[in-house]
Homo-oligomer: A and B are copies of this chain.
């Protein structure tokens, strides 16, 4: 059985089932970040990677690739209601690569680190036989320790997304702004029941949130905040929006919509969680091992 025959979610499930963890681990594999208890605090841990010809092509701006590589992980700390802390960068680079390209990559990493107050504390530089590979490991913290998982949603919760969806391939996937301030505001002002960032498309990610929360969901397709020039199907199925999807109690929705700062991107109620269970994912969204999907450049 090859990975392509299984699809991403089943590959991940097969590999990460019952990993060894002890009682310090509050959230293990399967959420946007892991959460561990250390001597003095709650620590978020995240790793992520971008690979040439999967997440970017060589003709992309190396600064943009660096920005993307770090911001993807930053977005995951936001998805837990937290902020990023310290980052380690692993790069595998072909020996034929011009130093200027590698320096551009690091310029993008530095820029993202500076904008989001991340410490770049080190990493590893290795040789790659041909393709460029960038992996980011990132710690994070949650003010007050009240992190938000995907699993706390309840039937009746209203589902919101920040910003607009679809068409990320046109450039947004290299320039997006992780919703850190928005996540911290939400975590401070509301009891957010469940949250995640949208990386594989709402059609694939929303069922994941509902499944983790042991609920079903209703999606108001007509209300989706569709990016200009995109179809509803693109808003559902394109990956790499890096917007927040979250669930709050119905009675909190008015306060949320009234209090949502004007400086933030738009906020849209796109549906609600409902009683029941998700049976199989809605088709679509990005699947890393689906042979029908060639690339998200």
Binding site for B on A (CB under 8 A): 1-4, 6, 8, 11-12, 14-16, 19-22, 24-25, 27-31, 33-34, 36, 38-41, 43, 45-49, 51-55, 85-86, 88-100, 102-103, 106, 110, 113-114, 117-131, 133, 135, 137, 139, 141, 288-289, 291
A208 smallest CB distance to B (angstroms): 14
| Contact yes or no, A125 B41, CB < 8 A | no
Bound: A25/B89 CA distance, A: 15
Q: Identify A89's interface contact among B2, B41, B47, CB under 8 A.
A: B47
Bound: A54/B117 CA distance, A: 34
Interface of A is mostly: mixed
Q: Identify A121's interface contact among B25, B96, B97, B120, CB under 8 A.
A: B25
Contact partners of A117 in chain B: CB under 8 A: 22
Contact partners of A289 in chain B: CB under 8 A: 93, 95, 127
Closest partner residue, chain B, to A114 (CB atom): B20
Residue contacts A-B, CB under 8 angstroms, 5 given:
A6-B99, A19-B122, A31-B122, A47-B135, A125-B288
